[in-house]
A = this chain, B = another copy of it.
Amino acid sequence: MTGVSILPVAGIPELEEGDDLVTLIVERVELEDGDVVVIAQKAISKIEGRIVHLDGIDPSPRAVEIAGEEGDAARRIEVILREAKSIIRVRPPLVICETSHGFICASAGVDASNAPEPGTLVLLPLDPDGTAARLRDELRERTGREVGVIVTDSFGRPWRQGTVDVAIGAAGVLALQDLAGERDPIGYELQNTVIAVADEIASAAHLVSGKLARVPVTIVRGLDVRGDGRATDIPVPPERDLFR
């Protein structure tokens, strides 16, 4: 019975701007060809210095209106509004935004949990697909292994409570697996059967990485998902989106 393994990379220290994540990974795990290296967004954001101190933020009137007060709550909303390309829904203090990358999520991905210190917020990486590609290339150079890399974040969903992890960056893997034209076992042609395989990998990895265990890197081993997908391929094009 061969299957898929989800393996935590244990012992990675708290990350700071400029840290060499590739070295931290290859010192701790023997990568194999076809592995998918799954990295929590917050690790990437910290290494890339995507941290904002609330102290320096001057909230706009719109931010104060949404927050319902001045002070840190309004500063936090102001940071979210600056990160957002557009606003999808507001029900204070919840603000659902489209990010610069085209993802739609709460707070434009701005998060206070697991921030480096109180009074700071962590922003999404500027180009998580680019980061994933760079890390994949460095991992290949260091180990000779062809691996995929996925950067993940925890997103809420309409209609279903709770967050699930999804891909916000990808390199060397399929993002969307299109089964159109293939046939199921009785010969029915599968139509419109696109699987968001990078999102399923992100969710699988999160079962191991958790939020409290401080395991920012997880290896998913045993899949055959090599490809050249990007996480920015996943958002529904606005003109086809029924839920904006």
- A: residues with CB less than 8 A from B are 1-10, 14, 29, 89, 91, 96, 103-104, 112-118, 154, 157-166, 176-177, 179, 182, 184-186, 188, 190-191, 193-197, 199-201, 203-204, 206-208, 211-212, 214, 218-220, 223, 233-236, 241-244
**A157-B159 Cα distance, complex, nearest whole Å:** 9
- Residues of B with C-beta under 8 A to A191: 113
Q: Which of B115, B158, B162, B242 contacts A241 (CB 8 A)?
A: B158
- Residues of B with C-beta under 8 A to A206: 195, 200
User: Is the CB–CB distance between A196 and B91 below 8 Å?
Assistant: no
- What's the least CB distance linking A39 to chain B, in Å? 16
User: Is the CB–CB distance between A159 and B104 below 8 Å?
Assistant: yes
User: Is the CB–CB distance between B200 and A164 below 8 Å?
Assistant: yes
**A66-B10 Cα distance, complex, nearest whole Å:** 53
**A169-B29 Cα distance, complex, nearest whole Å:** 36
